[in-house]
Structure 1
């Protein structure tokens, strides 16, 4: 209704004159809701634009053209070890329900099983899920990707790191070095040679 009224207001001179003479009556006759009428009274273009976007998004024909792009801003935790199964939280904007997520590099792609999405289609969104890291998964940095229900995606480059499992990292036992033995202070004197006197004849 709001979209149609604004379209008519910009193209219909008769409606323009009526609105200029009595805006309140014109808004009521157009069948606008009290909320939309209040927006016109405030004369706030930003709020009016947002109301237009919201109404267009509700339309089954044009909504997907005006839906804000999905955006991924963070993942927690940002690292894990081989063989672990983690509960992860994704944060961002305009997530969709349902949506997909994974971590990936040049050769590997590991899915994140999304269990819950909060704040779908809102400026502050959050999704929780599980991430199973195989015991032989290559270590190193991975890109995190989220994909909306319209196949739009957003990535967080090197947002997650796979570390080696504790079993793969063998701790070398520390060898205690025995303290140096103190040299005896008293040095042994070399044995004196005893001369045997030959008796005079």
Structure 2
């Protein structure tokens, strides 16, 4: 029997938190005095968000690109407020992560997000801290986005942990498959109960 994992690596949106694109778009649209459909297109249909997540746009370049799409200035604080409004942590999942840390596991977050998210984590999802202090990673900072194996491997390099010692949890099966391709164990998240059954199977209850 393989030893239990020493690290639990969690996705953010859809696992540790609920994320509502509609709320994010509507909030940013109000800040910018733009139509919600135009804000949605700028974020999700232009390719800008994907480029930022992959680390190809730093924060100034990302905000400038959104501004060009929307013909206005996009202040960082407006973006942060919109992302915060759209993100609601799941207290039962934070409690589970906290319990695992108390058992001696390393708990960390790996999210496909740009450098602005990385710079403003505590303002956007303050409930994650201090539990994940120093162990919350955005793909842009790593220079690779899930499901590319490099995203997981660079994250684990930063944690000084091996893929074989890590269980990755994400609600997107493609991202779980990417983790497995990188040598991690993977769990496709549906709900806490199913995750707890996986943890029990791994000797972590």
Q: TM-score, normalised by structure 1?
A: 0.23
Question: Which one has a larger percent strand, Structure 1 or Structure 2?
Answer: 1
- Bigger relative contact order, structure 1 or 2, given CA contacts below 8 A and separation 6+? 2
Question: Which one has a larger percent helix, Structure 1 or Structure 2?
Answer: 2
Q: TM-score, normalised by structure 2?
A: 0.22
Larger Rg: 1
